[in-house]
């Protein structure tokens, strides 16, 4: 998540919890505006409003000659190029996992089912994905758009 956009609804992100007085994961419940959202702490359950941090103001200090000419710029560090590079790397990983997946037919997702690594998974909302990592009650699935953690093996 960048500092200029809110995370998607139902996504978790790391920020300070005033009640816990510590850095905790919070889940986004709803976007209240373009720059604020209602969030819930995953530890204590407290709900609060979250607003994007303000952008740092540019300093009035003179720039060096290298910065003025663009020689000091590192391509792909920020902006569209780095996002495109991340997207391309993710798609490459997705395609590689799809080609070496164990199952030819995808397994339909259910939180009650138990899954194994490197199997194709068909999720009703997110589509086709590959199970990358397994935990006792959680699986990490690489979908075409992003990697998601899903619940599994629940009675």
CATH 2.20.25 maps onto the chain at 12-51
- On whether the CB atoms of residues 137 and 155 are closer than 8 A, the answer is no
CA 10-85-30 angle, 5° bins: 15
Tell me the C-alpha distance between 23 and 4, whole Å. Answer: 20
pLDDT of residue 58: 56
pLDDT of residue 66: 46
- On whether the CB atoms of residues 11 and 41 are closer than 8 A, the answer is no
Neighbours of 119 (CB within 10 A): 18
75 versus 119: the higher-pLDDT residue is 119
59-94 confidence digits (pLDDT tens): 555 554 444 444 444 444 555 677 888 888 888 888
CATH number of the 12-51 domain: 2.20.25
Q: Is pLDDT at 103 greater than 70 in this prediction?
A: no
pTM over 0.75: no
């Amino acid at each position: 998540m960048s500092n200029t956009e809110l995370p998607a609804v139902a996504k978790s992100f790391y920020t300070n919890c005033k009640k816990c007085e510590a850095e905790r994961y919070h889940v986004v419940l709803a976007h209240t505006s373009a720059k604020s959202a209602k969030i819930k702490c995953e530890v204590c359950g407290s709900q609060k409003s979250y607003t994007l941090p303000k952008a740092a103001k540019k300093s009035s200090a003179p720039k060096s000659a290298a910065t003025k000419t663009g020689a000091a710029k590192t391509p792909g560090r920020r902006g569209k190029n780095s996002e495109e590079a991340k997207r391309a790397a993710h798609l490459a990983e997705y395609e590689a996992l799809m080609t070496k997946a164990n199952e030819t037919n995808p397994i339909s997702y259910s939180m009650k089912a138990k899954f194994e690594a490197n199997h194709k998974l068909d999720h009703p909302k997110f589509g086709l994905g590959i199970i990358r990592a397994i935990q006792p009650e959680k699986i990490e699935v690489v979908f075409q758009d992003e990697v998601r953690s899903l619940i599994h093996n629940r009675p």
